[in-house]
Chains A and B, each alone.
Chain A
Amino acid sequence: MKNNTQKTSPSLIARLLSPIHQGQQLIASFHDLWRTPMASLMTILVLGISLALPATLHLFSKNAERVSAQWQTAAEISVFLKMSVTEASAQNLVQRIKLYPQVQQVRYISADDAMDQFKKLSGFGNALSYLDTNPLPITLLVTPTQRHSQPMAAKALLEKIQGEREVEQGKLDVEWLTRLEAIMVLIKDIVFALAALLSFSVVLIIGNTIRLAILNQKDAIAVMKLVGATDGFIQRPYLFTGFWYGVLGGLLASATVSVLGRYLGLAISSLAELYENQFSMQGLNLQELGVLLSIAVFLGLLGSYISVRKHIRSIEPNAD
């Protein structure tokens, strides 16, 4: 016979041992998944595919960024000097600009060279020889360092160069660079929005799967409550199930992205070869795979937690 004091909390020993019990339950709940193989498989597939989609888009935008980084190094600033500037002071300016920390290289094009080039490229040919004087100014082609080749930094550099007194006008063709950057931002936004939407649906799907599992066990849950089980005790196996859905769905998504990435990589490198460009597709690195897996586990836990909170409390034992 137990004395009249109430058992309001587990003993110290039970508390110390509870992590071990929970570890055992975690493994047991993994086996529970195979009690309903089809339902579990479906949930894991949905989770895997839902996460693989934004992950693949991320892979795409990451690689596109690398490609556009290659293009951006080609950005050049054309600097047109005032007509009055002599060759000597122009050379002086070249030396000064070369000292800018943002500048990688400066090419000097004399007025005559510019004229020759213009004759060749413009197609006016001999018509230009009727001109009395050379109307073209001395031109400098300034290549910024890689760090300063982004549109905003390049623009700042342009303004600095325009501040030099010998300079009439500087020109940076940043329009297409800004457009490209805007497109990259757009793609990233799309990836993010898509990921958010799909994550939401993953939470709903897991929540619903767990809800069905709970309703399936409704009688058992009522009995457990009747013999004194706390909600926490009843919830735990369902949270573990959500955890496993997350782990398996995350692994599936990782595998899918890896396979897709390799498949697309082959096609892209053969395309790059046609452009005489050495480019190899980069897959997800370990850190990104870790993030993907963590997100999957988090979504699995979140979905099951929401479901468990809502449904387990509503089940009440009934003696009838």
Chain B
Amino acid sequence: MIDFKNVNKTYPGGFHALKNINFSLQAGEMAFLTGHSGAGKSTLLKLITLMEKPTSGQVIINNSDLSKVSYSQVPYIRRNIGMIFQNHNLLMDRTVFDNVALPLVIEGLTPRQIRKRVEAALDKVGLSSKLKCYPYMLSGGEQQRVGIARAIVNKPPIILADEPTGNLDPKLSLDIIQLFEDFNAVGVCVLIATHDLGLIARMKYRNLTLTQGKMITDGLAVTEANE
């Protein structure tokens, strides 16, 4: 589902953000991506969502080699990836409903289909009552869940989350992670970037660790050792 082959990323100015990254995530797998700030987590996620292009190497998402994707094809690739951000990235002048509906409107679904699926997605994250609210009326945790609802509403095969628990207390963080576990249980491939090591320690998921642009473990060996 997600394949990195000898991927290097050097930013203009010479900063070597990723060094020879190799890993592979299967469909229906859930994994954490950890490392200190500046270790390259965000860069790695940007490569998957086509916000950046690798300097060398191959990134293959859902059987598409991203280096061969033309500008006009980029949106269609992104529709297969539900992306969740630390800063939520919601449209502040639209209601919760409109925010969650956005990916479906873009795909051109009928209003009836949109309503049905948006309500289902908001129900899943426990925000059914906030349908008509604007994002600024919600707490940080609620905004984060609106972002999650938007990421899953078009049922993408891949969910990426960048520090989804960044500003939340441990209880809320656990709730959010459990949401991701639920999605994973129905077969979605989930990759969560976080530096919240305490959170990960309580779970037995594959853990990819980056240090200064190098992947020091892709988690596979650890999982085998645990078993």
Binding site for B on A (CB under 8 A): 1-4, 6-11, 13-15, 17-18, 21, 219-220, 222-231, 233, 313, 316-320
Contact = CB atoms under 8 A, between A and B. Distances in A.
Interface string B147-189: 0001000111100001000000000000000000000001110
B108 A10 contact: yes
B129 interface: no
A224 B102 contact: yes
B133 to A, nearest CB: 18
B64 interface: yes
Interface string B54-78: 0000000011100000011101111
B108 A18 contact: yes
B106 A2 contact: no
A319 B162 contact: yes
A224 B101 CA distance: 11
B36 interface: no
Contact of B187 (A1, A220, A229, A319): A1
A2 B76 contact: no
A4, A14, A226 pick with most chain B CB within 10 angstroms = A226
A96 B110 CA distance: 81
A229 B75 contact: yes
B42 interface: yes
B79 interface: yes
Given A4-B157, A10-B108, A229-B102, 11 more contacts: A1-B28, A1-B187, A2-B80, A4-B1, A7-B80, A228-B78, A228-B106, A230-B76, A313-B71, A319-B49, A320-B42
A302 B132 CA distance: 37
B25 to A, nearest CB: 13
Contacts of B93: 220
Interface residues of B, number: 42
Q: Which 10 A-B pairs have the closest CB atoms?
A: A14-B108, A228-B79, A1-B187, A228-B78, A230-B75, A227-B103, A10-B108, A229-B106, A228-B75, A2-B155
Given A6-B64, A226-B78, A1 B155 contact: yes
Interface in B116-169: 150, 154-157, 162
B27 interface: yes
Contact of B76 (A8, A219, A226): A8
Given A7-B80, A228-B78, A316 B51 contact: yes
Contacts of A229: 75, 102, 106
Given A4-B63, A7-B76, A220-B91, A226 B106 contact: no
Contacts of B73: 8
Contact of A6 (B28, B42, B80, B162): B80
A2 B49 CA distance: 18
Interface in B172-212: 186-188
A18 B49 CA distance: 27
A85 to B, nearest CB: 85
Given A21-B108, A319-B85, A4 B75 contact: no
Interface in B27-65: 27-28, 42, 45-46, 49, 51, 62-64
Interface in B84-111: 85, 89-91, 93, 102-103, 106-110
B76 A233 contact: no
Contacts of B63: 4, 6
Contacts of A3: 157
Contacts of A1: 28, 155, 157, 186-188
B199 to A, nearest CB: 20
Contacts of A17: 108, 110
B18 interface: no
A2 to B, nearest CB: 5
B7 interface: no
A4 B102 contact: no
A3, A6, A230 pick with most chain B CB within 10 angstroms = A6
B215 interface: no
A230 B72 contact: yes
Contact of B51 (A4, A227, A313, A318): A318
Contacts of A2: 80, 155-157
Nearest to B94: A220
A192 B35 CA distance: 67
B83 interface: yes
14 contacts: A1-B28, A1-B187, A3-B157, A4-B27, A6-B63, A7-B79, A14-B108, A225-B78, A226-B89, A228-B79, A229-B102, A231-B75, A317-B51, A319-B85
A224 B99 CA distance: 10
A319 B51 contact: yes
A225 B50 CA distance: 11
B106 A233 contact: yes
Nearest to A25: B105
